[in-house]
Amino acid sequence: MSDDVLRIRTPIGIKYQYSAGPRVSSHLHGLMDGRFVGKRCPTCHLVYMPPRNGTCAKCGCLLGEDVEVGQRGTITTFCIVNVPFLGQTIKIPYVAATILLDGADMGMSHLIQEVEAADVRMGMRVEPVWRPRDEWQPSMENVLYFRPTGEPDAAFESYAGQL
């Protein structure tokens, strides 16, 4: 019998404080009201939702005015997660997708639920399912997931530039 330690299990964690700053605060305040507030680039006019770090990836300039985008959006790309992992809370298979909210020019990632993974497709129209209001924080976690709206799929040309 060996005395070698082959494995240990220990909890680890990192505590940090995020300073949103003026470029992201309106987005976080919007989430506390159940709204998606992004920002427009003053140079190229792209609308970022979420507003990332407050700068335009294309121009490098600071994002400008607030823009409230729609609650609904279109799945541009997605992946089906089939791999179990430690701490997983969602039953596999499940779908993680890039969603282009109506009025936004950049997609964001979120879960897709209330539909079989095999039925998810590019162009599918989706809407958010919000947590109960008394659980809301300034976080995208206020949205539990997105689900299909039942609308006809968006035309490929409407999101082809996002791929």
Kindly list the residues in this chain that would bind Zn ion in the complex (CB under 5 A): 41, 43-44, 56, 58-59
The distance of closest approach from Cβ of residue 93 to Zn ion in the complex, given in angstroms and rounded to an integer, is 37
Amino acid at 141: E
- The answer to whether residues 72 and 101 touch, using CB atoms and an 8 Å cutoff, is yes
Nearer to Zn ion (CB atom), residue 42 or residue 93:
42
The distance of closest approach from Cβ of residue 49 to Zn ion in the complex, given in angstroms and rounded to an integer, is 14
Q: Are strands 143-148 and 125-130 parallel, antiparallel or unpaired?
A: antiparallel
The distance of closest approach from Cβ of residue 43 to Zn ion in the complex, given in angstroms and rounded to an integer, is 5
The distance of closest approach from Cβ of residue 26 to Zn ion in the complex, given in angstroms and rounded to an integer, is 18
Nearer to Zn ion (CB atom), residue 37 or residue 56:
56
Nearer to Zn ion (CB atom), residue 105 or residue 127:
105
Nearer to Zn ion (CB atom), residue 59 or residue 81:
59
Q: DSSP alpha helices (H): ranges in the chain?
A: 22-32, 156-159
Measure Cα distances from 136 to 50, 58, 65 in Å: 17, 32, 24
Kind plus residue range of the DSSP H or E element containing 55:
none
Nearer to Zn ion (CB atom), residue 101 or residue 112:
101
The distance of closest approach from Cβ of residue 59 to Zn ion in the complex, given in angstroms and rounded to an integer, is 3
Separation of first and last alpha carbons in the chain: 57
Sheet holding 47-48, edge to edge: 47-48, 36-40, 66-69
